[in-house]
Structure formats: C-alpha cells, structure tokens
Amino acid sequence: MTTLEQFERGLRLDQYIATIAQSKENFRANFIKATEAFSADDLAFFRSLPTKINVAVATEDANLDALRDVPIIGRLSVEVGKLVLRLFRPTTHADVVQVIAQDALSLTADGTDVVVRLPIIAFYTPGMQLIGAHVCRLPELSVEMNRRRSAWIESHPEVLDAREPMDKMTPITRTRLMQAMYALTPDQRAAWGRLTVQYWRRVLSVASPRPTD
C-alpha cells in the first residue's frame, strides 16, 4: 500500500506542468477545456466530500490516455479544493509508481491476468487507505477504441503490419493507427470527460471515507 511518505514525494500539479517534457501545450489546452467535463452538480459533490482525498496519479507526459484524463483530474482538484493531487512519473518515481500499480491491481477480483497501464488515478483517505482507482481508460472507451482499431485495420488491407502488436509495427503504421483510435471531436471529448468524472463520483460514493480517518 502506498504510504503517506511516498505520496508526499509526488509532484504538485504546478510542478508537474512546469516539468512536462513532451506535449506540454496539449496538456495545457486540455486543462483549459477540462471544465467541459464536469457540471455544477459534480463540483457540488466533490466540494461536499466529508474529508480531503489524496489522489496519486502515475502518468507519463506523452501518454495519450494521460493527456485526455490527467488534465481533468488536475482541473477538478483546482476547482473543488478537496482533492490533494500528487503526480508521479516512472522515470523519476519508479518505486512509487510500482506501489500505486500494486494498489490498483489489488482491486481486481483475483489479481491475475490483469495488465495495469498508465495512467493510474488512485484515490486514498488522508490516512492512505485505498478507496478506488481508475486505470488507463474507462471500459466503455476501451470498447470504442478497439472498435476504431478494428475498423481502421479492415479499411487498410494494404498496411501489412497493421495486424501486428503495436511494438511490432513500423513507426508510420503505429502513428496512423493511434491517430485513428484517439481522434476525438470536441463533443466526444466532452462526453468522455463527463463519463470519467461520473466514474470518479461512483468510486467516492461507494466507498465514502470516514471523516475521522
């Protein structure tokens, strides 16, 4: 379990943004647009939490899932004042990222045949009792992205390596496929963002922390 000492070693949001090495402008743009993902009712819910929540985020700068979701949790933490955010990169906090991943894995039914991918957004009480975690992307979004991948592969039979695992593709094929999978219209981005915030609300509603923790 992630300890409070490990949590406090993470970067505050301003420190993280200042040290982004890749896709900084994309992160900033998504941070500005993140208000589209939550409503006044969402803000009221998070502001009414009985105690502050420690949120540990294991992420990578150029990770496309992270560029979609991390700006939302970052902006939400600024807006509501109840989410104490710390961010961790594998390159600088490998040991803490590993523990956060283990925490997320502990939430699965039996801990087997599960791949934990970044980003990981883990929610803890002030005493670092694990409440829940959001790993990589919502199941609904995974289904949609897998559908897009299959559709792109079927429509490009001339791309011979398109059916290979991502790490076996040429850089050009991988880039084209990723663009097809991750492209979102403004309306789609806002819709997925709202679903993500609703998921976080369910996590914190089902396992509400004790005010005395």
Q: What are 101-112's pLDDT values in tens digits?
A: 999 998 876 544
Q: What is the pLDDT of residues 165-203, one digit of tens each?
A: 988 999 999 999 989 988 888 899 899 999 999 999 999
Domain boundaries, given as residue ranges, for the chain: 4-136+186-206, 137-182
φ, ψ (nearest 5 deg) of residue 156: -130, 65
Q: What is the pLDDT of residues 11-57, one digit of tens each?
A: 999 999 999 999 999 999 999 999 999 999 999 999 999 999 999 99
Q: Could you tell me what percent of the chain has a pLDDT over 90?
A: 76
Contact 104, 135 (CB under 8 A): yes
pLDDT value of residue 48: 94
pTM assigned to the model: 0.89
Q: What is the pLDDT of residues 76-91, one digit of tens each?
A: 999 999 999 999 999 9
pLDDT higher than 50, residue 210: no
pLDDT value of residue 209: 44
Q: Would you state the structure tokens that stand for residue 32, as one six-digit string?
A: 């500005």
Higher-pLDDT residue of 159 and 116 is: 159
The Cα-based distances of 59 to 48, 94, 106, 170, 171 in angstroms read: 27, 11, 19, 25, 22
Q: Could you tell me what percent of the chain has a pLDDT over 70?
A: 93
pLDDT value of residue 115: 63
Confidence of residue 9 (pLDDT cuts 50, 70, 90): very high
Contact 37, 196 (CB under 8 A): yes
| Residue 165 exposed, middle or buried by CB count within 10 Å (0-12, 13-18, 19+) | exposed
Q: Would you state the structure tokens that stand for residue 70, as one six-digit string?
A: 């991390």
Confidence of residue 138 (pLDDT cuts 50, 70, 90): confident
Q: Report the SS3 class of residue 32.
A: helix
Q: Which CATH superfamily is domain 4-136+186-206 in?
A: Glutaredoxin (3.40.30.10)
Q: Average pLDDT, stretch 120-149?
A: 92
